[in-house]
């Protein structure tokens, strides 16, 4: 059995490196995630008089500004020998609107360290001979950064996949957990069942809110419509429908949620 495991590992390493996940993660951040962050910021940079919008973001190649003002691309070995940070400039399209006049420009907003052998590395795509000419070891798989001439590694952490349901079976029955993620916002959400058979939802500041009440608060008030939408009629559904049959409007449901959450000043007169 151990021999078979070794064969699988050997075959995997023939096509993949140990640092492949680090490089792919950084490439994804550079190619997609940074642009998503910029687009999220656009919504919060609008004032009554001035409107600022960010457009396409561009990551350049690792370079250095010399003493004479010239800009030269550098390789990882150059950064190591000269105690430099192997980093690339970050440019963004900036548009400023003021009193019906708009001005646009591409500006440099900073620099970002570049992972060695990644998509933005100046050695990316080089063959063994080209790597040797640039004083790079062809066996060096990269996956690290160079900060002030020193190699630095970001330790990868294992995390649950976002927007994917995970179902666990406990003493009270099944529990569904999901990490809802959109952009930079991430909220853990839990669906559980009480001993009485009531399905409850927990997310953000709301804890143990009956799902049926939440549906009614969102406008799905009629029990017949809820049953039709769910599509499966069983004891659990009947128990939940019966328990909250007294909530006849969205306002009643929202009042129930407010009282359960402890929000003051929400009790009906």
Residue 49 DSSP code: S
CA–CA dist 215, 224 (Å, integer):
13
**Alpha carbons 138 and 77: distance in angstroms, whole number:** 13
Q: Predicted confidence band at 267 (pLDDT cuts at 50, 70, 90)?
A: low
| Cα gap 95→60, rounded to integer Å | 20
Q: Which of 2-11, 40-49, 83-92, 250-259 has the lowest mean pLDDT?
A: 40-49
Handedness of CA 91, 93, 98, 103 (dihedral sign): positive
Q: Where are the domains of the chain?
A: 2-152, 166-260
Helix (H, G, I), strand (E, B) or coil at 52: strand
The pLDDT confidence band at residue 120, using thresholds 50, 70 and 90, is very high
Do the beta carbons of residue 34 and residue 78 sit within 8 Å?
A: no
- Beta-ladder partners of 89: 111
CATH of domain 166-260: 3.90.1110.10
Exposed/middle/buried for 99, CB within 10 Å: 0-12, 13-18, 19+?
Answer: exposed
Average pLDDT, the chain: 86
Separation of alpha carbons 258 and 214, rounded Å: 11
Phi, psi of 260 (to 5 degrees): -70, -30
- Joined together, the tokens standing for residue 182 give 């959109």
Q: What's the pLDDT at 118? A: 95
Distances (CA, A) of 127 to 119, 123, 130, 131, 133: 14, 9, 5, 6, 10
pLDDT in tens, 123-170: 999 999 999 999 999 999 999 999 999 999 998 877 778 888 888 887
Whole-prediction pTM value? Answer: 0.69
């Amino acid at each position: 059995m151990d021999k078979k495991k070794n064969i699988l590992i050997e075959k995997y390493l023939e096509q993949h490196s140990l640092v492949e996940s680090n490089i792919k993660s950084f490439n994804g951040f550079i190619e997609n995630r940074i642009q998503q962050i910029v687009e999220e910021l656009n919504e919060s940079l609008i004032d009554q008089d001035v409107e600022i919008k960010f457009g396409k973001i561009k990551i350049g190649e690792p370079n250095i500004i010399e003493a004479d003002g010239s800009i030269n691309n550098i390789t990882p070995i150059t950064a190591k020998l000269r105690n430099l940070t192997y980093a690339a400039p970050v440019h963004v399209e900036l548009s400023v609107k003021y009193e019906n006049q708009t001005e646009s420009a591409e500006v440099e907003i900073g620099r970002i360290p570049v992972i060695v052998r990644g998509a933005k590395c100046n050695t990316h795509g080089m063959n063994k001979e080209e790597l040797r000419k640039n004083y790079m070891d062809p066996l060096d798989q990269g996956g690290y950064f160079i900060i002030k001439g020193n190699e630095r590694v970001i330790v990868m952490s294992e995390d649950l996949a976002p927007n994917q349901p995970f179902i666990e079976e406990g003493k009270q029955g099944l529990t569904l957990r999901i990490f809802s993620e959109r952009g930079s916002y991430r909220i853990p959400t839990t669906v559980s069942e009480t001993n009485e058979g009531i399905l409850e939802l927990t997310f953000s500041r709301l804890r143990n809110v009956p799902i049926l009440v939440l549906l009614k608060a969102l406008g799905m008030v009629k029990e017949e419509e809820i049953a039709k939408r769910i599509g499966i009629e069983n004891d659990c559904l009947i128990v939940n429908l019966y328990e909250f049959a007294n909530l006849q409007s969205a306002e009643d449901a929202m009042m129930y949620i407010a009282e359960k959450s402890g929000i003051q000043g929400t009790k009906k007169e």
